[in-house]
A and B are shown apart, each in its own frame.
Chain A
Amino acid sequence: MSGHLKFIPGKRHYLLFADNKGMSPILPIVHKLIENELPFELCFQEDRESAIIEKLSNQKMGCYLYAAGRREWVDRIDEIAGSIGFSGEEMQIMAIGDRKNVFCFHCHTIQEISDQQLSCSECGMSIVVSKHFSKHHKAYLGYPAPDQEEGDHH
């Protein structure tokens, strides 16, 4: 998602996640919420997975979710929210920085890329960026593109 976060009025409760990078896009939403006297909670820099799961699981129906920050962090919040049952209409996710580190499945080179599909700059293998993230490498797994290997694997 690009551009800015859109204020959605009339929800029962708002849950906001932001890190350092996400504060500036999230602040206009906070101002709107205060202006409209709507109940909200802001979680700043919360990167303990268990705490994110707990926070999202404890929300009642009618809660609206905003998350803004570095890509791997908001992607994970997006994943968890989806698995808990938040639909696309109940949240807005904004990833800051449109490039991410990708780990080549074949030669292990980590490279920064912006496309979903690319050829590895080192070994030339055609790779697709998955959502499997390594905190250790701070990179997503790039796995074999289907043109090399049909219908297989994560």
Chain B
Amino acid sequence: MPLNVNEFPFPFNGDTYRYSNNAVPLDPPVCPEVTDDYREEILLKRNLLSQNPERCFQSLPHTMEAQWEAVDLIMHELNDVYPESFRLVESGNKRILYNNLTGEEESFVFGDSQSLSDEPLNMIGRHVQEDLIIMTQRDGDLYLDAGQLCFPANWSLAFDIGMAFGDIHFPVPELSGSRLLEKIRRFIMRIEPGQPWVRKNWSLTVDHQLDTPLETSASWGKKKHAMTTENVGERTHLRVECQKLFRLPGSNSILFSIHTHLLPVEALIENKQWLRRLCSVLEELPNPVAEYKGLAPFRATLIEYLQGKMNSDQTNVVEEKN
């Protein structure tokens, strides 16, 4: 959790929410973001990867070139943007990436998969908080052909591997088969090298739990039914994914990175405008979208809590004036 709530990537610009192509140019154009939670999240990631390798990493054989491009992009950015934490040494095809935050060094021959114990994307993903997805562009479509995914919001990388963009979004109400989805697909297919984009996606989740894959939903999903007006502010978290899109020019693929941030709803009390916005978005959100985002079981409870906080705030203001 950020020390300052106002630094949280709050996802709403208005009092209502609908799906849209809300991507904006990424400035600065950098993929990895190293936050105060780095060590804790990297440790969690490593544990998930070793305990559930097939759930957390998938790749098709033709993605090797794109995987190396992703490694190249991320390790250069780590070296350039976080010089105190990372250092990249290049000599011919040899590379050494020093990670001062974990005390590790990755030494390998660039482009030679035999020189790594993991696939390239699975190696570099262990050094960043982001989940990393590679979408291949072929036959006029985008396919999810590789990914290291430890922190999914209720979806399965193992099921979605090899799937076309439209099919991936089949379960999303109001988006599946829509003109908007087609517009977004075309937009991604036109992304140019060196001109990355970013968008925010959001949902609500119970407790500070980043790993909410479909595979274990039968266990973490139960918690949604235990929400009361007493515990809902503390336990429900606003979950925001900062999703970045980069063109990898050599393979003409897309690198799609997802950095997931969590903030307990009660922390919003410090920012009245955000508190009010979240409340009005929840009040107005169409039912199918609320169900898809998994917040339907506790929506009414949370609205009641938020309204209570706003009302008590007004009372305080009146008292202060008196």
Q: Are B166 and A151 in contact (CB under 8 A)?
A: no
Q: Which A residues are in CB contact (< 8 Å) with B292?
A: 153-154
Interface size on A, residues (CB 8 A): 28
CB pair B163–A134 under 8 Å, yes or no, is yes
CB neighbours (8 Å) of B172 from chain A are 154
Q: Is the CB of B294 within 8 A of A134?
A: no
Cβ of B17 to closest chain A Cβ, rounded Å:
19
Chain B residues within an 8 Å CB radius of A83: 177
- Segment at the B interface, from A24-32, A92-100, A136-144: A136-144
Q: Is A89's CB within 8 Å of the partner chain B?
A: no
Instruction: Return the chain A residue nearest B160 by Cβ.
Output: A134
Majority secondary structure, B binding face = helix
Interface residue ranges of B212-228 to A (CB < 8 Å): 214-218, 221-222, 224-225
Tell me if B14 counts as interface (CB < 8 A to partner A).
no
Q: Contact at A133–B294, with CB atoms within 8 Å?
A: no
Chain A: minimal CB distance from B228 (Å): 16
Which residues in A have their C-beta under 8 angstroms from that of B167?
A: 132-135
Residues in A44-78 with C-beta less than 8 Å from chain B: 49
Number of residue pairs A-B, CB distance < 8 angstroms: 82
Complex formed: what's the CA distance from A151 to B291 in Å? 7
Closest to A84 in B: B177
Contact with A along B155-177 (1 / 0, CB 8 A): 01011111110110011100001
Q: Does B297 contact A (CB under 8 A)?
A: yes
Q: Which residues of B contact A137 (CB under 8 A)?
A: 159, 162
A111 to chain B, nearest CB (A): 14
Q: From the candidates A49, A108, A134, A144, name the one contacting B221 in the complex (CB within 8 A).
A: A144
Whether A136 touches B156, Cβ cut-off 8 Å, given contacts A105-B217, A152-B291, A154-B171, is no
Q: In the complex, what residues of A have CB within 8 A of residue B296's CB? A: 151-152
**For chain A residues 93-152, which have a beta carbon within 8 Å of chain B?**
103, 105-108, 125, 130-137, 141, 143-144, 148-152
Whether B291 and A143, one on each chain, are in contact in the complex, defined by CB atoms closer than 8 angstroms, is no
**Taking the complex as formed, is B54 at the interface, i.e. its CB lies under 8 A from any CB of chain A?**
yes
On chain B, the residues within 8 Å of A107 by CB distance are 215
Distance in angstroms between the alpha carbons of A152 and B296 in the assembled complex: 8
Q: With an 8 A cutoff between CB atoms, is B137 at the interface? A: no
Please state if A153 and B159 are interface contacts (CB–CB under 8 Å): no
Could you give, for residues 126-163 of chain B, a 1 whenever the CB lies within 8 Å of some chain A CB and a 0 otherwise?
00000000000000000000000000001010111111
- CB-based nearest B residue for A108: B158
